[in-house]
Amino acid sequence: MKILVPVKRVIDYNVKPRVKADGTGVDLANVKMSMNPFDEIAVEEAIRLKEKGAGTEIVAVSIGPAKAQETLRTALAMGADRAILVETEEEVEPLAVAKILKAIADEEQPGLVILGKQSISDDSNQTGQMLAALMGRPQGTFANTVEVDGDSVVVKREVDGGLQTVKLALPAIVTTDLRLNEPRYASLPNIMKAKQKPLATKTAADYGVDLTPRLKTLKVTEPAVRQAGVKVADVAELVEKIKALGIA
């Protein structure tokens, strides 16, 4: 079974994002970039499935600028077999990403598509669900456990009340949650080998997808600064302050 794993290049999760002075977006100049953490978990899970014999080939896919090759090389160093970069300098919305992934999936015919539940750059949490809808395939989102069982995959999903177990007929779409696994570090020999693994470069036009945005960002602002708290001498003073705020 072939496994398709989309990955995204985002600001490293250890870096505090800076908003541009004009409020048009996040400043990416001289900022460390890395693979989206949820996608890293997806790559790890694909590798584990292959190690168990459930997968035969892992294809990593990224949609973004030429520098996204670095993210794909990381996936290759972790254990992916080959990669596809759909190169664009434009900001690509989730629907366009899903359409491109569908076109790639139509070509590659993977038995399983595993991707992060969301990216930490825009937190949309839409691509996996949109891809499943476009392909007409079953989906298991927020995966806590993934087990391939013959012609189906059993997914334990993280839901508000705990865990929900679903059994999906393959081919299927799975989106990963944080507690699915702990991604491995790529060893130096594997990093060197990754440079020799195939990486194809495509464009959105190759797949007949229009990247014209359907959404418009009006303004990006920093979170509001929290006001400092105050200390009270006793319970009576606390009650008075609560009454003054109109809470009680």
pLDDT per position as a tens digit, 197-214: 999 999 999 999 999 999
pLDDT value of position 161: 87
CB-based contact 63:88 (threshold 8 Å) = yes
CB-based contact 143:180 (threshold 8 Å) = yes
pLDDT value of position 248: 57
Catalogue the E-assigned strands of 162-236.
162-169, 172-176, 199-202
How far apart (Å, rounded) are the C-alpha atoms in residues 45 and 232? Answer: 51
pLDDT value of position 227: 84
CB-based contact 45:57 (threshold 8 Å) = no
Residues 6+ apart with CB under 8 A from 90: 211, 213
CA distances from 114 to 111, 181, 190, 204 (A): 10, 13, 22, 21
CB-based contact 59:85 (threshold 8 Å) = no
Cα-to-chain-centroid distance, residue 248: 43
pLDDT value of position 185: 92
How far apart (Å, rounded) are the C-alpha atoms in residues 44 and 46? Answer: 5
pLDDT along the chain (248 residues), means of 10: 97 92 88 96 98 96 96 97 96 95 98 96 95 97 96 96 95 96 94 96 96 90 85 91 79
Query: 80-90 burial, b if ≥16 CB within 10 A, otherwise e?
Result: bbbbbbbbbee
CATH topology of domain 2-245: Rossmann fold (3.40.50)
